[in-house]
Amino acid sequence: MGKGRPFQLPCQPAGGGMNARWSRFSLSMRLEAVFSRNMEGVLTILGAGGDLMCGKLLPALWRLHRQGLRIQVIGIDRFEDGGDALDSLVARSVARGALPRAAAESIDFRRQFEFLAGDLREENIYREMAKHLSGRDRCFYCAVPSTLFGKIVRNLTREGLHREGKGEQARIVFEKPFGESQDSALQLFNSLQSFAPHQRAFAEHYMAKGVPRALINFRQQKANALLEGLLNAGHVTRVDVFSDESGGVGTRGPFFDQCGTLRDMGQHVLHLLALATMDLPATAHDTGRQKKNLLDRVKLSRTKSVRGQYEGYHEESGVAAASATETFFAARLFVDNARWQDVPMVARSGKSLPQKAAGIIYHFDGKDGIDLCEIRIQPEERMTFRITEGADASLVSRYLEIESSFNRSFEVQSPEAYEPILRMSMGESLDLFVEEGEILASWRILDAVREAWMNVPGLHPLHRYAVGTAVSEISDL
């Protein structure tokens, strides 16, 4: 893990891993079929009593357990009784359909867990952690609001839990949001400096899903040079990146009302934009730099953004009665480089829309036999083409071959996003995590959108839309 001796993935080949050339990185598109031994090190989940644990982390740990991978877990939160914490968490997870009932009955699975009751804002719980973790490989997973990140790091540092030495390594993983603006993100990063860069990891779930990783590898393959050669201003007339949700805010009302869709989902769709339009990285490690380079060139059309709020939002639990928080946003962007000069890029995300869907759409001029290429991430992972009417049969055949080769990457079901995140949190490579430079670059763009909303409010009224309204009726971008 990081520098020195890595945490050992039991099935990882000697001298390999996912930090080599792309030809080897492509293997990470699929979970390895079988893990035969326990994984070294302890995963300490800070905030283990929350929704993230019940809805995402616990189910992912169960799926990894079913594949033969055992991760030792210590959960920290304000439990009334640490001894009963697992029963409560499993019951909540089963009740919401995130975890099968078999997990509650698996004694072997339950043996992976230990829980400590304590308040992460107080010092005594960190002293207790030190008793359990000193001298051991450890990964801290922060399933807590970002307002606690700095305090957590200071307390871990005071107990020496950030130090690495002979037979002892440490890593800390952070969940979004990483601040609420570029300035606050920079302040946040400055507060984390006691952990070295190779020890800090920032989880981006779309990067961990199969399609984004497959997309980079797919674009790299020489066999797909036909499509890659069309991804530029000479052929593309527009690019859409989107993450639509059919549900409302649910139980996240208090949190969501403080941030809104732009801050909550904006970085996700901007990372998709970077993946769709960046120059190809030479190696897996170069991905972050290329994404940052692309995001640094993104410009906002200040009069071309939309914000909306679904009807009934004020009735959600934890939402202020007169809240003006947006539940939908769309922004027209441009990439200021030769490859994408003057091509509009529309980024959007919203709640209570007709369907849950996320992906990338390239719109072409049709001169080369193709009108549209859609890369779908949710609900299913696939690539589809819309061919120009009357296009040459050989071109049609070639595009269908490209589509087929992409879709075959997912004959084995892609892992849920949290499975590879947890594996790589405990592993050697940080390739699926985002870098601080990417995060700051994306905040620059999102800050510009918010500034336009605030400074020219007449141009950006808060549109009310009924639940299930089509995107085209909310935004004309």
Residue 45's alpha-carbon distances to 76, 77, 293, 471, in angstroms, are 6, 9, 33, 38
Distance CA 466, CA 449 (A): 24
Cα R_g (the chain), whole angstroms: 23
What's the pLDDT at 210?
Answer: 62
- Burial code (b: 16+ CB inside 10 Å, e: under 16) for 213-243 equals bbbbbbbbbeebeebeebbeeebbebbbbbb
The architecture CATH gives domain 34-203: 3-Layer(aba) Sandwich (3.40)
Return d(Cα 375, Cα 216) in angstroms, integer.
12
Q: What pLDDT was estimated at residue 403?
A: 78
What pLDDT score was predicted for residue 108?
92
pLDDT of residue 449: 96
Along the chain (477 residues), what's the average pLDDT of each consecutive run of 10 residues?
37 32 30 39 94 92 91 92 80 90 90 94 96 92 91 96 87 88 94 93 76 72 76 97 96 91 94 93 84 96 93 96 97 98 98 96 91 87 83 75 70 68 80 88 97 86 97 96
Indicate left, alpha or beta for 266 from its phi (over 0: left) and psi (-120 to 50: alpha): alpha
DSSP class of 54 = I
Strand partners, 374: 361, 384
Q: How far apart are CA 133 and CA 118, in angstroms?
A: 16
Q: What residues does each domain of the chain span?
A: 34-203, 207-415+434-474
Strands (E), 23-99: 38-46, 70-77
pLDDT of residue 315: 95
Model pLDDT, residue 201: 92
CA distances in angstroms from 231 to 241, 280, 339, 368, listed in the order given: 15, 11, 8, 12
Angle between helices 287-296 and 253-277 (to 10 degrees): 100
What gap in Å lies between CA 55 and CA 93, rounded to an integer?
6
Residue 84, number of CB atoms within 10 A of its CB: 11
| Crossing angle of helices 210-220 and 393-407, rounded to 10° | 130
**Quick one: tokens of 225?**
């040079």
**How many residues appear in the chain?**
477
| Confidence at residue 49, expressed as pLDDT on a 0 to 100 scale | 93
| Superfamily designation of domain 207-415+434-474 | Dihydrodipicolinate Reductase; domain 2 (3.30.360.10)
Q: What is the pLDDT of residue 285?
A: 77
Strand 433-434 versus strand 200-203 pairing type: antiparallel
Residue 81, pLDDT score:
64
Q: Is 402 helix (H, G, I), strand (E, B) or coil?
A: helix
pLDDT at 411: 56
Task: In whole angstroms, give the CA distance from residue 406 to residue 176.
Answer: 30
| Angle, helix 58-66 to helix 418-425, in steps of 10 degrees | 80
